[in-house]
Amino acid sequence: MPAIKLYRHPLSGHSHRVELFLSILGIMPQVIDVDVLNGEHKQPAFLKKNAFAQVPVLQDEHIVLADSNAILCYLARKYDPRRTWFPTETVAATHVQRFLSIASGPIAAGPATARLINVFGAQLDHNRAIEQSHALFAVLNTHLQSRTWLAGENPTIADIANYTYIAHAPEGDVSLADYPNIRAWLESVEHISGFIPMQTTKTGLAA
Ligand SMILES: N[C@@H](CCC(=O)N[C@@H](CS)C(=O)NCC(=O)O)C(=O)O
């Protein structure tokens, strides 16, 4: 298989969701760290790959793709011939898509933002991000009461897309202590063959 290149930052949860899925699929990418803290993502060379100036970007031969969830869809369609990670059946695919939207909506506004403030010093409203995280986690905890996976009977890219920022929520001072079903689901993801963690940071006080 020709080398797949992954442009990422090691502390970016959006990058990690792609790294995690590549690892589960058994694909070893060539990893290229982008110095986001010093603005490398805003330089012309990177903007040619993603005009929105964000990691991750995946390059598979001549195909250059941005946006973590879009990349997960691509990888699932191209490299999972069994079609379990992103089912093709209409209703099953819609359930997965629903949770991709949650990953790019309330997860981004809640736990990802709370962590961005602590880890990268973003000047954003921490209390609001923490509040939004708990509102989301209460719903997810109930959703997971009778389920092992977010969508359907098997792990899908819905689980991959939502995993990282939920697992790392305590780094943004969002405790997972009140959400036993979410913690059980995180453990289920961590038991998937090929799982790799994202490096943790010392910020955050919440357990
Ligand atoms: N919707 C995008 C969001 C990606 C994103 O927010 N990337 C962050 C790192 S986690 C980034 O590159 N931030 C740099 C910036 O916005 O200046 C995705 O899913 O890939």
The H or E element spanning position 135 is helix 126-143
- Report CA(146)–ligand 1 centroid distance (Å): 33
Residues 37, 109: one domain? no
What is the maximum alpha-carbon separation in the chain?
48
Q: Give per-residue pLDDT as tens, 2-29.
A: 589 999 999 999 999 999 999 999 999 9
Q: What does the alpha-carbon distance between residue 202 and residue 200 come to, in Å, rounded to a whole number? A: 7
Quote the pLDDT of residue 12. Answer: 98
Residue closest via CA to ligand 1's atom 20 equals: 67
Contact yes or no for 95/158 (Cβ under 8 A): yes
Model pTM score: 0.97
Q: Give per-residue pLDDT as tens, 140-173.
A: 999 999 999 999 999 999 999 999 999 999 999 9
Which atom of ligand 1 is closest in space to residue 56's alpha carbon?
20
Residues 113, 174: one domain? yes
- Report CA(103)–ligand 1 centroid distance (Å): 13
Residue 125, amino acid: D
Residue closest via CA to ligand 1's atom 10 equals: 12
Q: How confident is the model at residue 203 (pLDDT cuts 50, 70, 90)?
A: confident
Q: What percent of the chain has pLDDT over 90?
A: 94
Say which CATH number the domain at 99 has: 1.20.1050.10
Residue closest via CA to ligand 1's atom 9 equals: 12
Residues 47, 101: one domain? no
Residues 111, 183: one domain? yes
- Report CA(165)–ligand 1 centroid distance (Å): 13
Q: What does the alpha-carbon distance between residue 175 and residue 164 come to, in Å, rounded to a whole number? A: 14
Taking CB atoms and a 6 Å cutoff, what residues make up the pocket around ligand 1?
9, 12-14, 36, 41, 53-56, 67-69, 104
Q: Give per-residue pLDDT as tens, 35-83.
A: 999 999 999 999 999 999 999 999 999 999 999 999 999 999 999 999 9
Nearest to 169 by CA among 159, 183, 149: 183
Count CB-CB contacts under 10 A for residue 183: 15
- Could you give the count of Cα atoms lying within 13 Å of 40 in the half-sphere of its Cβ? 11
pLDDT at 1 over 70: no
